[in-house]
Homo-oligomer: A and B are copies of this chain.
Amino acid sequence: MSSLAPALKDAAALIAAMGAATRDAAAVLAATPTATKAAALVAAAAAIRGSAAHIEAANAGDMAAARAAGLSRAMLDRLHLTPARIAAMADGVAAIAALPDPVGEVIARWQRPNGLDFERVRVPLGVIGIIFESRPNVTADAGALCLMAGNACILRGGSEAARSTRAIHAALVAGLAAAGLPEAAIQLVPTTDRTAVGAMLAAAGLIDVIIPRGGKGLVARVQAEARVPVLAHLDGINHVYIDKAADPAMAIDIVVNSKLRRTGVCGAMETLLIDRAAPALAAPVLRALLDAGCEVRVSPELIGLDARLVAADAADWDTEYLDAVAAATLVDGVDGAVAHIAAHGSHHTDAIVTDDAAAAAAFLARVDSAIVLHNASTQYADGGEFGFGGEIGIATGRLHARGPVALEGLTTFKTVVRGSGQVRPA
């Protein structure tokens, strides 16, 4: 695409030209056998390994520019590609090649009395637009998942990762070429001009779905502006509810892991709900969080349990900290937990800890979130942990894919009807 950029005057024309090429590639991919897609990914993984030095050098350029621009340590860490991370990226691409191909799967089949035979068959979504920020490895993950599910994609990475992204993209294109697939199947927007994002969001008919990968600012902008369907989550305001019938030791393990294993992931717990009927459970769990270095903001009933606790204000129940900070309050059993989550949750991931099967069943049925867990950490909200071989993101919308989006979430279906000359009576 690099030869195209100078010729095009504006972002809309650029995206239109890319979209047309990508759509043609999508038609080819939709009919491409599994083995060919897998071969392209295996070749891409080899190309990533073979060009590791080049990718590392490109990343060093990005890192130098980012340091000069004063980017935060967290952003620098997301941007940095070590040899181990490059190897893991190649392994990830090769692993996706080994996943079952969802395309062509018959997900339902039925007959009608008139002899018509119906099959619901998985087909690719088409053209996926991925808009991401500073993690250059999204290039490889997203490109590989889209390809394996038979989709073409248009990738638009952040300006701070531009050199790294281009180097990784070149390896993916080498994989496509090695398998005889159209190079336009994985395209990289050749500019990091922000107007290109706007053009992608408006490209209904050219792009079938947009998946933003990045911070809340990016996701909010995409959700507000997109004229193309979006698979995303804005917030992960996730809860762990400790029921009165919880095993105390399990409750501590799950709460500490849910909050602190990684605080910056969307599946991290943000609010702890404790059954008012089990006051004895509260102190040990809160102390475990405090001892592990977590700030805990609590409702007035809990404030006396430990001198390190601080008072929560109303905003805390609606805050995604993404940090070593948690809110905690008492609730009136499962009913109270369900009501609190309905009022303050973000339909992402919520867990109950209990040995009471009826309480668990009520919580799992009534909490309206993409992922609900019983006696397990919210940090399992992850496509890899679901067994999907990775994920392109987690969706909290109500339509189409919900929860981790991987190969299956990157497909839709059509209905194939087979007859023997049936015409419909008046």
Count of chain A residues with a beta carbon within 8 Å of a chain B beta carbon: 63
* A368-B123, A423-B254 given; A380·B417 CB < 8 A: yes
Provide the A393-426 mask, 1 if CB < 8 A to any CB of B, else 0.
Answer: 0000111101100000000111111111111101
Is A373 an interface position by the 8 A CB rule? yes
Provide the A364-402 mask, 1 if CB < 8 A to any CB of B, else 0.
Answer: 111011111111110110000111000000000111101
Can you name the residue of chain B whose Cβ is closest to the Cβ of A23? B342
> A250 vs B417: C-alpha distance in the bound complex, in angstroms?
16
Which one of B379, B386, B403, B424 lies within 8 Å of A385 (CB-CB)?
Answer: B424
Stretch of A34-42, A83-91, A110-118 that contacts chain B: A110-118
Chain B residue numbers with a CB within 8 Å of A247 are 421
> A373 vs B412: C-alpha distance in the bound complex, in angstroms?
18
> A210 vs B186: C-alpha distance in the bound complex, in angstroms?
33
* A399-B209, A417-B372 given; A377·B412 CB < 8 A: no
Which one of B253, B364, B419 lies within 8 Å of A374 (CB-CB)?
Answer: B419
Chain B residue numbers with a CB within 8 Å of A420 are 375-376
* A30-B368, A398-B126 given; A376·B419 CB < 8 A: yes
Is A229 an interface position by the 8 A CB rule? yes
Is A57 an interface position by the 8 A CB rule? no
Is A208 an interface position by the 8 A CB rule? yes
**A417 near B229 (CB under 8 angstroms)?**
no
Is A188 an interface position by the 8 A CB rule? no
**A399 near B125 (CB under 8 angstroms)?**
yes
Chain B residue numbers with a CB within 8 Å of A377 are 422-424
> A288 vs B7: C-alpha distance in the bound complex, in angstroms?
53
**B414 near A402 (CB under 8 angstroms)?**
yes
Q: Looking at A30, A366, A372, A424, which has the most chain B CB atoms within 10 Å of its CB? A: A424
Is A191 an interface position by the 8 A CB rule? no
**A254 near B372 (CB under 8 angstroms)?**
no
**B116 near A380 (CB under 8 angstroms)?**
yes
Is A319 an interface position by the 8 A CB rule? no
Is A12 an interface position by the 8 A CB rule? no
Which one of B229, B376, B415, B424 lies within 8 Å of A116 (CB-CB)?
Answer: B376
**A125 near B415 (CB under 8 angstroms)?**
no
Can you name the residue of chain B whose Cβ is closest to the Cβ of A116? B376
> A14 vs B54: C-alpha distance in the bound complex, in angstroms?
60
> A414 vs B342: C-alpha distance in the bound complex, in angstroms?
15
Q: Looking at A364, A386, A398, A400, which has the most chain B CB atoms within 10 Å of its CB? A: A398
**A414 near B229 (CB under 8 angstroms)?**
no
**A342 near B387 (CB under 8 angstroms)?**
no
Which one of B209, B256, B402, B414 lies within 8 Å of A372 (CB-CB)?
Answer: B414
**B403 near A414 (CB under 8 angstroms)?**
yes
Which one of B261, B360, B369 lies within 8 Å of A414 (CB-CB)?
Answer: B369
Is A106 an interface position by the 8 A CB rule? no
The 10 A-B residue pairs with the shortest CB-CB distance in the complex, in nearest-first order: A376-B419, A257-B423, A399-B400, A250-B421, A379-B424, A373-B417, A400-B400, A376-B422, A375-B419, A377-B423
